Structure formats: structure tokens, C-alpha cells
């Protein structure tokens, strides 16, 4: 997620270069896929109508937002929308700083293994809500990483399909109704909440069980190190490894499965041990 500066536009609305902006969106119009953007804070400026991407239109942001204003086919469009809520940003900053400190103190060995606690996090989901580690405690979790512009069918698309199959398998087992799925993007500059929402909908994801998360780039890089996800950029894309990390209701990592794909039935069966207290973990 871009750390956009809270600046007011200093050029005309019709500028062709991206214009950083902070303000509020109102009067969402599904027919025209637009909303009214009121800039702020600072000297009063008139509201302007901006086009929205489908995911952002569905989120219908009700909090202060940051975005970039660009011209698309002769119309002004608000893109890269993220939260600018002061209290959320304060909470985020505290967690970002704490995890950065933890990462530094761990030295060369950062990756967390079996029985380690999952790292702290402050990320936004596909509904634009700030989600913290505490929001996921109390339920078994399956965590993976993807990025929406991945074109390698055997990596991110396959991983997302595997998570969808896992959700379907879990749905067949009433005892596993509380198992949650979490997908974190490692390309936050592109994958804003609205982009993640549209991407997940393309796979028929049930957001009641499965959350897609994004956040500050530096914070996600730390999370990747703690979860053992490595990336490098080559020929304009991101090369990376993949893994499924399973976490207990208490927030402890209990198993890791390498690779983009996995057997949904096997993973669902593994989670049954949390529904049956006498089963070994």
C-alpha cells in the first residue's frame, strides 16, 4: 500500500499526471460507477465527481481516504484508494514499529516455525476494515500469500484456487465452521482493498470465512520474512516461493506446507484436531 502523502492537489483537476489526494467519498452512484470526492483537510475546495473501480464502489468508503487522481478516457478517476482514518493510521503505526523492532532483534533467523506465535499485524481487508492479529485469535487459521497480477498459472492463481477448494471442503464439515482463511498480498502498491475485493470475487471467495489483506509495504515485507516467503523481481514480475501456514486458535503456528497447491481434504482433516480436543496437534 503506497505511503501517500496527505497533500492537497496543487494543480488543476484536469491535470494528466497522477494527483495525490486525501478526502472523503460520498454520493456513490452504481450506474455511473462514480462518487463525489470532497478534498480535505486544508483550504476549502469544491467536491468533484470521480470514477471508481468496481471494488471501491462496492466498499463505499465511509472513512477518510487517500487516493491518486488520474485521467481515464477523459474522466477523472480515483485509484489506489486506502484508508486515511487518523485513528487507524495511529494503530497501524504502532504495530508496524513493534514488528520492525521484533524483526531487527531476531537478526538473521526471522522465520517462525512450529509452535511459534504468529506475528503481529495491522492490515486492511477487502472491505476496507483494519484487521489486527487479535481479530483472528480464537479460530484456526490457514494463511498464504499471493499478488493479483501474477500470471503464472501454477503459482498465485493455483494457490487461490486451492484456498477456494479448502473453503468448500470446510463447508462440508459443520465442526470446522470456525476455521478462517487469510490471504495476504505481497504487492500492496497495486493490491489495495478494492483490487483485492474484485480479484477474490473472480474466484467466488466467501468473505465470511476468507479475508484478503493488504497494508504498508514495509510491514508486509516484515510479515513475509516471519512467514518465510521470499520474493525477487524479474522481467517486470515478482518471483516467489509459496506456502500454506496453519495456525492454532491460540495463535501458534502448527504446520507449514510448502508449495502453491495442497490437498484440501488433507488440510481440512488436519483442522479437525482443533474441533476434537483429545487429538494430538
pTM for the whole structure: 0.90
Model confidence band, residue 277 (pLDDT cutoffs 50, 70, 90): low
User: Going by C-beta distance under 8 Å and a sequence separation of 6 or more, which residues neighbour residue 21?
Assistant: 7, 8, 9, 37, 39, 66, 67, 68, 69, 78
Q: Which three cell numbers stand for residue 195?
A: 483490487
Q: What is the pLDDT of residues 253-262, one digit of tens each?
A: 999 999 999 9
Mean pLDDT of the 191-197 span: 98
What are the residue ranges spanned by the domains of the chain?
A: 19-83, 111-275
**CATH architecture designation of domain 19-83:** Beta Barrel (2.40)
**CATH architecture designation of domain 111-275:** 3-Layer(aba) Sandwich (3.40)
Distance from C-alpha of 183 to C-alpha of 169, rounded to nearest angstrom:
17
pLDDT at 188: 95
Amino acid at each position: 500500500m503506497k505511503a501517500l502523502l496527505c497533500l492537497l492537489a496543487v494543480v488543476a483537476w484536469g491535470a494528466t499526471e497522477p494527483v495525490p489526494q486525501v478526502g472523503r467519498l460520498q454520493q456513490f452512484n452504481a450506474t455511473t460507477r462514480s462518487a463525489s470526492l470532497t478534498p480535505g483537510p486544508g483550504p476549502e475546495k469544491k467536491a468533484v465527481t470521480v470514477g471508481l473501480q468496481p471494488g471501491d464502489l462496492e466498499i463505499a468508503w465511509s472513512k477518510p481516504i487517500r487516493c491518486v487522481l488520474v485521467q481515464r478516457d477523459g474522466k477523472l478517476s480515483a485509484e489506489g484508494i486506502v484508508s486515511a482514518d487518523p485513528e487507524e493510521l495511529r494503530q497501524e503505526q504502532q504495530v508496524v514499529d513493534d514488528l520492525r523492532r521484533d524483526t531487527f532483534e531476531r537478526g538473521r533467523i526471522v522465520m517462525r516455525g512450529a509452535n511459534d506465535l504468529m506475528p503481529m499485524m495491522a492490515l486492511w481487508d477487502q472491505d476496507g476494515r483494519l484487521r489486527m492479529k487479535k481479530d483472528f485469535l480464537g479460530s484456526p487459521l490457514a494463511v498464504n500469500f499471493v499478488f493479483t497480477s501474477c500470471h503464472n498459472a501454477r503459482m498465485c492463481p493455483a494457490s487461490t484456487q486451492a484456498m477456494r477448494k479448502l473453503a468448500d471442503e470446510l463447508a462440508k464439515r459443520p465442526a470446522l465452521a470456525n476455521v478462517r482463511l487469510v490471504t495476504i498480498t505481497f504487492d500492496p502498491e497495486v493490491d489495495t482493498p478494492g483490487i483485492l475485493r474484485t480479484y477474490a470475487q473472480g474466484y467466488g471467495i466467501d468473505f465470511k470465512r476468507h479475508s484478503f489483506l493488504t497494508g504498508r509495504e514495509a510491514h508486509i515485507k516484515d510479515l513475509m520474512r516471519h512467514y518465510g516467503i521470499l520474493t525477487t523481481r524479474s522481467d517486470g514480475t515478482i518471483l516467489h516461493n509459496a506456502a500454506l501456514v496453519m495456525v492454532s486458535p491460540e495463535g501458534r503456528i502448527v504446520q507449514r506446507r510448502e508449495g502453491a497447491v495442497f490437498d484440501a481434504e488433507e488440510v481440512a482433516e488436519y483442522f479437525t484436531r482443533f474441533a476434537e480436543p483429545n487429538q494430538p496437534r
